[in-house]
Amino acid sequence: MIRIELLTPNGHLFSSDTYNKLFTMHGVVMIFFFLIPSIPAVLGNFFLPLMIGARDLAFPRINLLSWYLLVIGGLFAIFAMLAGGVDTGWTFYTPYSTTYSNTWVIATALGIFVAGFSSILTGLNFIVTIHRMRAPGMTWFRMPLFVWAHYATSLIQVLGTPVLAVTLVLIFCERVFHIGIFDPALGGDPVLFQHLFWFYSHPAVYIMILPAMGVISELISVYSRKPIFGYSFVAFSSVAIAVLGFLVWGHHLFVSTQSFFAGMVFSFLSYFVAIPSAIKVFNWTATLYKGSISFETPMLYAFGFIGLFTIGGLTGLFLACLGIDVHVTDTYFVVAHFHYIMVGGAIMGYLGGLHYWWPKMTGRMYPEGWAKLSALVIFLGFNLTFFPQFILGYLGMPRRYHTYPSEFQVLHVLSTAGASVLAVGYIIPVIYFIWSLRYGAVASSNPWGATGLEWRTPSPPPVQNFEKIPVVTHDAYDYSTTIGEVIEVG
Amino acid sequence: MTQHIDSVKTYALVFIALVFLTLLTTAVAYVDLGPFSPVVALAIATAKMLLVALFFMHVRHSTQLTRLVVTGGLLWLAILIFLTLADFGTRGWLGVPGR
Ligand SMILES: [Cu+2]
């Protein structure tokens, strides 16, 4: 819808107000209710206990509570945005969100606030489970990297999300009780909001991308039949990303009233956070070296992830550079950058993981041919959608406008065409996944010949996960003993 | 996990040490040490903080993990103070209004 509107320079379909509400809804729903919970809630809750040989998470009831909170918060926020609409953008920048906007800001923020608790509880549950419930022999450095990534993610969720909650409460206080927090007329500072907001929202990017990185580590290892190169570096880089991620929020304030010196510090720290990400990418490629690679669908997504994430990450370095950032702030360059990370990274990881573990979750195989086709369509559609946006942004097209000078039309048309291709790419898996639930071939307990504990129990796993709690005697990804061996579990 | 319990004597000694350090802080306030005044005051405060954390809050006998969390928290506070000062303390260096 948004892309269709941008087909023509003048914007015939919607008014500016409607367009503002639309992109706010797109941002809020995608970030808070899809990207942040997707991998931890779907794949993490299911496989984290399986992968460390536990029968369930440490607090199953808290897990259920966090699910209810997510659904309640999500439905509430979506209802508020449909019924009243919100036009602040997903970032809720003050003073617009506190003083000027007449839309349903508080209701939407409340929905996000409630869903935030879901995120905190999930993080708490994962941390306790990983600390206390590992199977005998499952030492910290035998844990699959998916688990390490989720451990790092959980730290961010537990430590970062309360800051967002507080920020939203402060907005509420200012809007309702006129307490001066962000409004200078009342003694506040609007830039304070940007500090608080990005203190959560930059780490939140890592809440989205770290689990995807964990998935990719699994996929690369399985489909090249090799242990991950530099296992402990990859494991610690997850934790390093979680820690450093908290120290870079100032790079969103290069054009706000932040001193130049602070800008330099944050710029430097932002370059720094690229190091652990690069460690991962290089170690993945090193894993591929001399591996016996097979190009199953999940592996295609893993390759897609590496390519797109690298582009997203490198353009992030452009943005961390003070001089360039001032030029491209709030342009399509930024839009393209974070879509490469969040869609090209997080969603590719999510789809890869979903395909990889689908046989384990449902006991059915998906149709391989269609799956490969859709992986290809998604990759092409994605690049066609977002690559032109880098150029648009560099040429000066600002984000969040639905009208633009006519010389930008070609690139906008390309981008819209790409979005249509991308949509088709997303619809195909939905169809064949539903189809496979009934008609897919029955999956064996270990269709990929992988080493993880989750493959040593029937597909789908019994209620208690394992007949008998396994004893771990090998490192993760030890393919020296299990090549070609398919463990059948009755 | 074994629970270590300090004797009443230890607690009493720590308490006396804390009272002594408080008196010392007051006494030092009357001596003009020039730029070293805050240094001395903060050093005494740190010593008191360590006594409270190690003995009264049982960090001395707790697991490695608890110690990691405690030091991590302190380190984190230091980082936040540094970043705040990096902004607040350097405004006006270049003479650009508002920066
Ligand atoms: Cu950021």
CB-based contact A250:A265 (threshold 8 Å): yes
How do the domains of chain B map onto residue ranges?
Answer: 1-57, 63-89
Q: What is the pLDDT of residue A153?
A: 93
Give the C-alpha distances (Å, rounded to integers) separating A203 from A353, A361, A422. 22, 30, 27
Query: Would you give the DSSP letter of residue A397?
Result: P
Instruction: Give yes or no for residue A8 having a pLDDT over 50.
Output: no
Inter-chain CB proximity B91 and A259 less than 8 Å? yes
**A261 touching chain B per CB within 8 A:** yes
The CA A402 to ligand 1 mean position distance, Å, reads: 25
- pLDDT tens readout for residues B28-72: 888 888 888 888 888 999 999 989 988 888 888 888 888 888 898
What is d(CA A43, CA A85) in angstroms, rounded to the nearest whole number? 32
Interface ipTM above 0.90: no
Instruction: Give yes or no for residue A56 having a pLDDT over 60.
Output: yes
Instruction: Give yes or no for residue A405 having a pLDDT over 80.
Output: no
The more confident residue out of A280 and A471 is: A280
Q: What is the pLDDT of residue A484?
A: 42
The more confident residue out of A185 and A287 is: A287
Signed CA dihedral, A262, A268, A272, A274: sign only: positive
Confidence of residue A487 (pLDDT cuts 50, 70, 90): very low
Instruction: Give yes or no for residue A490 having a pLDDT over 60.
Output: no
Instruction: Give yes or no for residue A486 having a pLDDT over 60.
Output: no
Chain B residue whose CA is closest to A257 = B99
Instruction: Give yes or no for residue A379 having a pLDDT over 60.
Output: yes
Taking Cα atoms as reference points, which of A215, A326, A209 lies closest to residue A263? A326
Question: Quick check: helix, strand or coil at residue A29?
Answer: helix
**A102 touching chain B per CB within 8 A:** no
The CA B38 to ligand 1 mean position distance, Å, reads: 37
Instruction: Give yes or no for residue A302 having a pLDDT over 90.
Output: yes
- pLDDT tens readout for residues A444-463: 888 888 888 888 888 888 88
- pLDDT tens readout for residues A189-199: 888 888 888 88
Lowest mean pLDDT among A5-9, A219-223, A289-293: A5-9
Give the CATH number of the domain where residue A18 resides: 1.20.210.10
Which own/partner pairs from B58-67 qualify as long-range (CB within 8 Å, at least 24 positions apart)?
B58/B4, B61/B4, B61/B6, B63/B1
Q: Which residues of A touch B79 (CB under 8 A)?
A: 247
A108-112, A347-351, B28-32, B87-91 — most confident range: A347-351
Give the C-alpha distances (Å, rounded to integers) separating B57 from A115, A458, B6, B61, B73. 34, 48, 11, 9, 15
Q: What is the pLDDT of residue A128?
A: 93
Taking Cα atoms as reference points, which of A79, A71, A77 lies closest to residue A92? A77
Q: What is the pLDDT of residue A3?
A: 54
- pLDDT tens readout for residues A150-187: 999 999 999 999 999 999 888 888 888 888 888 878 87
A247, A250, A257 member nearest B99 (Cβ): A257
Range of the domain at A216: 2-488
Instruction: Give yes or no for residue B1 having a pLDDT over 60.
Output: no
Taking Cα atoms as reference points, which of B17, B76, B80, B12 lies closest to residue B47? B17
Q: Pick the residue of A192, A247, A259 with the most B CBs within 10 A to test the interface with B by mutation.
A: A259
Confidence of residue A483 (pLDDT cuts 50, 70, 90): very low
Lowest mean pLDDT among A56-65, A110-119, A157-166, A314-323: A314-323
Mean pLDDT of chain A: 84
Taking Cα atoms as reference points, which of B91, B79, B36, B1 lies closest to residue A256? B91
- pLDDT tens readout for residues A81-114: 887 777 777 777 776 676 666 677 788 888 889 9
Token pair in block for residue A366: 């998906």
What is d(CA A45, CA A40) in angstroms, rounded to the nearest whole number? 6
What is d(CA A478, CA A481) in angstroms, rounded to the nearest whole number? 7
Inter-chain CB proximity B93 and A260 less than 8 Å? yes
Angle made by CA atoms A227, A229, A234, in degrees to the nearest 5: 105
**Angle of helix A190-224 versus helix A231-244 axis, rounded to 10:** 170
Instruction: Give yes or no for residue A5 having a pLDDT over 50.
Output: no
Structurally, chain A folds into a number of domains equal to 1
Q: In this structure, which amino acid lies at residue A242?
A: A
> Mean pLDDT over residues A399-428, rounded?
82
